[in-house]
Structure 1
């Protein structure tokens, strides 16, 4: 698993600066005002810091960017990194500054002179997240990241905030690792095994095997995996840190998706190892909640299947009856994720009796066409609940945009042979997929569907992540829990 950089806080010791090795980072505001620590560094390196912040290069930097001074005269340090950050920065700027530092220093150890700056836990989170590298299957492993020490006046005052921030980073890394793994490694069995490892953190984990799923009537979910050698499973994770009905998180966990009999084009099919991204996010959130001891009740359910072509595979035109009793005509076996979620959503409501539900899935290419790779699609039957999530996502800098539900979309999934069909065709494909799921939500149950097809994995780096799996959603959902479900 990817190693998280060790980040700690220590008391500022300016007298030690001249003998320090490695990299020193200094936080300086846009105006170039030097803190006492920055002035000390400036004196030691013969005014190099003051000259740097007067240059055109410094002026062109956005907040959160950095400027590196290599081999500074007068210091034993090999580099000084000047971080452009206001004394009271916004969350996204603080995280960007930490991420910029991580990118500038790589795996090298670093000491950050940060006294007098707010949101240092967010700086630490950005520093941790941008250091991610998935090299599990490379012969030449990445160098283990060096420690980062942040110097402040009162280290104890920062301890809780940074501990919670690093719990979020651990959850994001868990999601990224799961999303990045190839399907021959992350089989349904291996996925379930990794989730059982959360028991060590206090999470209750229950694995429902195929025989139990058949007893429960999860015929829609089982239909998806019946062409695969990997057994279909549902994993239920319960974090009991509070009182009352839990918030439920439900994730699509298709470990590989060929499209089944409605097979996908060969080009790009290897990327379908990330089609379990929704289950990955649910898993990462549960790990974060456990690591930080969240005072909330949250249950996470993931449906783990593989969609393969085989003599036993589901065919276009087959009709299956879901756990709810709704019959479904499968007109396209590549619209399989909604079949998985349909049964898991219904099971969740019958057994866990949640206060509200959020489901996540890399569900439709149509959502990518609509929103690109900057925003997840948000669908909801409850304006208040949707507003809570959108506010949480905005606070965490995770793009999300609400898209419509409605009767017209329900009409698109009507069919003569069954109660509904599993796709409404190309028009409004993300909305018709969402209303399909809405058929499996009880009246009065607050529900959000997040289509994360465009944001779970990206082909270019972001502020907080290198190219590849992003872990989108862990931070926003953790914030939703903090703001609305956590007591004390």
Structure 2
């Protein structure tokens, strides 16, 4: 898997600046005279005043906090480039991470020396740097992009390193999610996905794989129906992290459709290649569980993912078929491309039956309708519990991950009424993301705090974001880890 760049923290060594040959990144505070910084004074001297001339220019005035400007090869320095990053010494979390990301996307084989001085959020700076340096290259025949050493020179290196340690675990969880979502479906089969999760037992997670015979015995016919047309077997993977004593766990449930053709209700050819990301919900659950294990979280959390492939063949589920869920409710399958909710219904019910969790959050790249409603900036959040929902939205805000609460209600629920079964799996085009949430709500037990996160617009994007290159974002790992820390470890 892809691992975050290792970052070293050291005290500032001004004598090293004159002979360093990689890239130098200077954090320049916009609210102070940069020339007062010892590192800035030294660099200004080495560049024969070029740094101060730049900092006094109109160009610097127009740079936004967290952004960077590359000065190229200034005279007097042997460096590849001198990068000047605008960020206050007491920058907020978002700006510190953005500043780190500005550095991270330029890290090359010569490495980078970051002069952060007395910056109080050096750990967040390093987190942003590591997150943005991600690249997915296992299927390119050319040599992997070389990344040189990264060193942060700070006033308090021990304190910064200590603060950065749990963030490094989060970055590794995000990278794990990104790798899973970026993988093509001929590589990330249900078998391969399950094997990658089973390998996390070496981190201390308890991992159990339920095969098709197990799912049949449990009555998970809603989930099993989705995979009937595929040559790869359907599975449910159960991951448990028990770091919080004897209390009941909190539950995360993810949709893991490793490829979605739409089944018999086949999708248009244009854009179908992106359906390798339809296991994004399961990818986020896996990334969170990896993070919890790596940072030895003092909480009890279970993560369950339903792994299937939705393909058309002679055995595939048809529109008009009726399946019986593990709960016992019958579902008329109107559209085989509305398959994720069928997978989640059985896994959510099993989760509640077996673990009796204190609360449950499910994640899924569930509907195109949520993209129409919210674009690619926000995940749609649906909930039956204001307390859990507000706590999650607060975690999203703290971590800078966009999320927006969507409405629910009986009027939407009525659209799922079936003539021949207990419900249909779709309720029409209007309000499609909401009726999908209403469908899932039928598989949430009374009194169970629950959130449904529709990440169809945020799991994979076509352009760079602040902390990620285009492609898989790993959205949700940071916010869910923060929720668990705040709710169960505070």
Length-normalised TM-score, structure 2 = 0.98
Structure 2: runs of 5+ lacking an equivalent: none
Superposition deviation, residue 160 in structure 1: 2.2
Distance 2:243 2:143 in 1: 38
Alpha-carbon distance, 1:155 to partner: 1.5
Deviation of residue 107 (structure 1)?
A: 4.7
Conserved in 2, the CA contact under 8 Å of 1:106 and 1:131? no
Partner of 1:180: 182
Number of the residue aligned with 2:331: 328
Equivalent positions of 1:67-466 (< 5 A) are: 67-243=69-245, 244-466=247-469
1:52-63 aligned at under 5 Å gives the runs 52-63=54-65
Q: CA deviation at 1:5?
A: 1.1
Q: Is the 8 A contact 1:168 1:475 kept in 2?
A: yes
1:67-103 CA-to-partner distances (Å, cap 9, x unmatched) read 1122222222222111100111111111110111122
Separation in 1, partners of 2:80, 2:147: 17
User: In structure 1, how many angstroms separate the alpha carbons of the residues matched to 2:397 and 2:109?
Assistant: 30
Is residue 476 of structure 2 the alignment partner of residue 473 of structure 1?
yes
2:18 matched to 1:15?
Answer: no
Q: Distance in 1 between matches of 2:109 and 2:126?
A: 15
Q: Secondary structure at the match of 1:401?
A: strand
Query: CA–CA distance in 2 between the matches of 1:119 and 1:441?
Result: 41
- Distance, in Å, in 2 between the alignment partners of 1:103 and 1:63 is 17
Corresponding residue pairs, total? 487
Report the CA distance between 1:144 and its aligned residue: 2.7
Give secondary structure in 1 for the equivalent of 2:447: coil
What is the TM-score normalised by the length of structure 1? 0.98
TM-aligned CA deviation for residue 104 of structure 1: 3.2
- Where structure 1 has 5 or more consecutive residues not aligned to the other structure, the ranges are none
Aligned-pair distance for 1:139?
0.9
- The answer as to whether partners of 1:6 and 1:146 remain within 8 angstroms in 2 is no
Aligned to 1:264, the other structure's residue is in SS state: coil
- Counterpart CA distance in 2 for 1:105 and 1:153 is 22
Q: Distance in 2 between matches of 1:359 and 1:94?
A: 31
The whole-number CA distance in structure 1 between the counterparts of 2:299 and 2:49 is: 52
The CA deviation at 1:106 is 4.1
Q: Write the distance in 1 (CA, Å) between the matches of 2:374 and 2:199.
A: 35
Cα distance in structure 2, aligned partners of 1:144 and 1:346: 46
Contact kept in structure 1, 2:365 and 2:459, CA below 8 Å: yes
RMSD: 1.1
Tell me if the contact between 2:21 and 2:110 (Cα under 8 Å) persists in the aligned partners: no
- Whole-angstrom CA distance in 1 between matches of 2:173 and 2:20: 33
1:32, distance to aligned residue in structure 2 (A) = 5.3
Instruction: Using the TM superposition, give the Cα deviation of residue 171 of structure 1 relative to its aligned residue in structure 2, in angstroms.
Output: 0.7
